[in-house]
Amino acid sequence: MPSAIARFTIYLAAVGLGAALPAHGRTEIPGAAQPQLTIANDGRVWLAYGRLGEAPVAPADGQKHTGHQPPRRAGDVFVACSTDGGASFAPAMKVAHVPNLMLGMRRGPRIAAQGDRVTVTYVADELRAVRSVDGGKTWGAPVAVNDVPRSAREGLHDLATAPDGRCFVTWLDLRNGKTELSSAESTDGGASWGKNGQVYRSPDATICECCHPTALFDAGGNLAVMWRNAIAGNRDMWLATRPAGSTQFWSAQKLGEGTWTLNACPMDGGRIVALGGGKFSAVWQRAGEVFYSPTDGAEVSLGMGKQPVAFAQGAGTLVFWQQGSDLVSTRLRGSTAPVRVANEARFPVVVPLPQARGAVLAYEQGPLKEPNVVVQVLP
């Protein structure tokens, strides 16, 4: 039976984007969920996604998990590569079969690549990494990233790669009974990981328990990490940076002028944008409203919605987010009104192509229980 990638529908289209954002290519992957993208330093586009089996499986500890976690099911993690800027992909390779794969609500695999070295991370009962050193042709055995068993079981994490190829992972950690933000680094593409470190612990003992963290290196090797905090009943976004060459994060800072008093988890962690020169900004939502905010400037409201992602392009920033059942986008420079990218779409991810040749966007589309992954190229 041919692989799902071999059965992709690939075609040229200009769908629902308006004149500002025509799509140059579109790929659909049936039965897939929670896509992630990365661009290697050689220009190749890498895609990771998950696919769940039919029947839920019991947690390894025998306890019933509740809250915002998706049902535990056996699942598979796939990776595919594009050498033409995301217009088409080679057949996907299954890199892991996972008995308790966490997949849904931003839980799912993450991917990073430098040359032929590709790293994929995912969470089941542990946070694990698999590595390829031959451009995805073969994959090594999975290794654990968290050094305290089951401390990463919430399933929310992110992976970033420095310009020199070092991998950095951050995740929601439960080793001390409350949710903290932990991290680990690898200098060999994920074959081994250093001692876990604490990025942040809330003075109120826990950060937001179900919002994904994000991490990003800029071109100079400076690192930023963002998460949703929980202080005095407020669920606001916070960010910490680590200068290139340092092992310590600077003091964390709250983003935005407003605050969100909420006794619940929004399940929405936003995305960091690298501005260059060690400066960062971010997109995030508060009370159902999407904001853009640099670390040293005022917040800017972009409209109602959730699950925003963004990247800097030239003098402007392109932002995508969910608005109702639609996926919309706006370009900050020029204050253009949001335009519809796709309907019945969610959980976008986007990466810019080299030499400002556009971007590659991926998202889930279709029924929640039977999603497809869509990848499309934007000029």
Question: Which residues, at least 6 apart from 288, have a Cβ–Cβ distance to it below 8 Å?
Answer: 304, 305, 306
- What pTM was computed for the model? 0.90
Q: Which of 260, 261, 264 is nearest to 284 (CA)?
A: 260
**313 pLDDT higher than 90:** no
Domain ranges within the chain, ordered by starting residue:
1-30+305-379
Q: What is the CA radius of gyration of the chain?
A: 19
| 178/173 Cα distance (integer angstroms) | 8
Alpha helices in 246-306 (DSSP H): none
Whether residue 318 contacts residue 349, with contact meaning beta carbons closer than 8 Å, is answered with no
**202 pLDDT higher than 80:** yes
Residue 40 is which amino acid? A
**Span 95-138, pLDDT tens digits:** 999 999 999 999 999 999 999 999 999 999 899 999 999 999 99
Strand partners, 350: 361
**Span 265-278, pLDDT tens digits:** 999 999 999 999 99
| 108/123 Cα distance (integer angstroms) | 7
Q: Which of 116, 45, 131 is nearest to 87 (CA)?
A: 45
Which DSSP string corresponds to 195-216? --EEEE--TTS---SSS--EEE
- Mean pLDDT of the residues in the chain: 90
**Span 212-228, pLDDT tens digits:** 999 999 999 999 999 99
pLDDT the model gives residue 59: 55
